[in-house]
Amino acid sequence: MARTGLIHCSLLLVFMTTGAWAEPPSYANGMQVLQNRSYPEAEQLFRQAIAEQPGHFMSWHRLISTLAYQQQYMQAQKTLSLAQARFPDNVDLGVLEARLWLWQGEIKQAEQSLKQLLATSPEYRDAQHLMAQLFQQQGRDEDAIRLYQQMLTRDDDPAMRQTLDSLMSTRTLPLDKQSTTTAEPPASPPRPWRADINFETTRFRDAPIESWRNYSVSLSRPLSEGWSLAFSGREEHRFDRRDRVAGLSLYRSVSPTLSWAVHGSWTPDADFLATRKLGGDMRYRLGHDRLGGAWWVTGNLYTEWFRDNTVHTVKPGLVYYPTPTVWFSMVAILGNSHRTSPTRDGLIRADWQVTSRLQLYAGASNAHEMDSDVTIDTRSWFYGMIYRYSDTLTLRAGYGRDVLKNLYTREILSAGLTIWY
C-alpha cells in the first residue's frame, strides 16, 4: 500500500509539472509572433494555447490584449468576461479591463473600473499606477501627486520618484499609457468613424413576383463617456415601387456588463409603404456557470406604425458563451397589433469564431408576419459569414429562406461591408 501511494503521488507530481503548471507550447509561439506585431497570427496561437490548457492565465491575458491591439474591443470584452469567470480572484484582469476602456478613449469608464478594483485591493500597485496616470490626463495633478506619494512610502522606485518630481515642478506631465506588467497599447490610434454598407435581394418561388432589392448605409461615431451616435438610410424596391427610410440610433455602453440603445426610423419618401418605428434594446451579463461560461440576457422592444395598423414586438433572449469562440442565442418573439391576435414565436442562432478573422453563423426561426388583419405562419432558416479582411475592412455575406404557409417561399441573399476610418 505504501508503494502504491508513492506511485500515486509521483503521478500527481508529473501531472502538476507537465500539465496544470506547464506553459502551453502555442503560448511561447504566440509570444514570439507578438513581438513581430503579427497580431492575427498571435491571436490564433493564444486561442490554441487556451484550447491546449484552459487554466493557463497568461494565454487569456495575451489573447485579450491582442484583440485590443487589433481594435476588436467588443470581442476583447467578451473574452475578458470569460476570463473573469475562470479567474475570479485575479486582480490583473481588473487592470486589463481598465486598459480596454482607456484604449477606446473612455477615461471615465477606466477610472470607474479602477475604483472598483482598488476598493477590494487598495494596495495593488499596478492599479494605483494606472489611476495616477489617469489623474494626470484629466489634469487632476494634486490627486496624482498624492497617489504617487502613497506608493513611494511603501516602495521607493527611482523611476516613479522622478515622475513625481517632474509632476510637482510642472504639473503638466502627459499620460504614459505603457504598463509595467502589460504589453504595449494598440499599435494604431482608434478610428472613430464606422460606415456600414449593405445590399439585399429577395427572390420569390411559387409566386409571379419580381425580386425585391434593398440598399442601406449607416454612419456612426463614438461620443464621450461610452456614447455613440449612428445615422442610417435605406432604399427599398418592392412591387416596382420605391421607399426611402431614414434612421437614427443612440448607443450607450454603461460598463463591460451592461449596454443599451434607442432606435428610431421613418419613411420620408414612400411609394409603397409608409412606416414609423421606435424602439430600443439592451444587453446585460447575468453571470457565469461552474464551467466558466458566460450568460447574457438581451431584450428588444419595438413599436411600428403603419397607415392602417400599429404593431408591437417584444424580444427577450439569452446568449450563452461556453468558450470565447462559440456562443448560442435563444430569442422569444412576442407580437401584437391592433388588428390581429397575439403571436408567440422564437429564434435560435449559433455563432463560431473559426479564426481571428472568420466568423460563421446559422439559425432558424418560427415568426408570424402581419399583413393588415392577417397573420401568416412563417418558418425561416439562415446562415452566413463575417470576414475581417483587415483592421479597417470587414466583409459580410448571408443567405436566408422564408417559407410563408400557403403562399410562397422567399430566398434572401445579402452582402455588406464595414469600413473604419
User: In this predicted model, what pLDDT tens digit does every residue of 344-387 receive, in sequence order?
Assistant: 999 999 998 887 678 899 999 998 887 767 788 999 999 999 99
Average pLDDT over residues 47-53: 85
Amino acid at 92: D
Q: Has residue 21 got a pLDDT over 60?
A: no
| SS3 assignment, position 226 | coil
Is this prediction's pTM over 0.85?
no
How many whole angstroms from its chain centre is CA 390? Answer: 18
pLDDT in tens, 53-89: 888 888 898 999 888 888 788 888 888 888 888 888 7
Give the model's pLDDT for residue 357: 78
Q: Which of 353, 357, 366 is nearest to 327 (CA)?
A: 353
Task: Indicate the SS3 state at residue 80.
Answer: helix
Which range is least confidently modeled, 7-11, 49-53, 221-225? Answer: 7-11
Report the pLDDT averaged over residues 261-269.
Answer: 92
Tens digits of residue pLDDT in 98-142: 888 888 777 778 888 888 877 777 777 777 777 777 777 777 767
C-alpha cell at 143: 490627486
| CA–CA distances in Å: residue 49 to residues 23, 24, 52, 366 | 9, 6, 5, 39
Q: Please tell me the predicted confidence (pLDDT) of residue 273.
A: 83
CATH assignment of 16-90, given 3.40.710.10, 3.40.190.10, 2.60.40.1180, 1.25.40.10? Answer: 1.25.40.10
**Mean pLDDT for the chain?**
80
- Residue at 180: amino acid letter: T
Spatial distance between the Cα atoms of 285 and 293, rounded to a whole number of angstroms: 11
Task: Quickly count helices (H) and strands (E) in the chain.
Answer: 10, 16
CATH number of 194-420: 2.40.160.40
Joined together, the cell numbers standing for residue 55 give 487554466
Q: How do the domains of the chain map onto residue ranges? A: 16-90, 118-190, 194-420
Residues 251, 261: Cα–Cα separation, whole Å = 4
What pLDDT does 409 receive?
A: 93
**Residues 121-142, buried b or exposed e (16+ Cβ, 10 A)?**
beebbbbbbbbbbbbbbeeebe
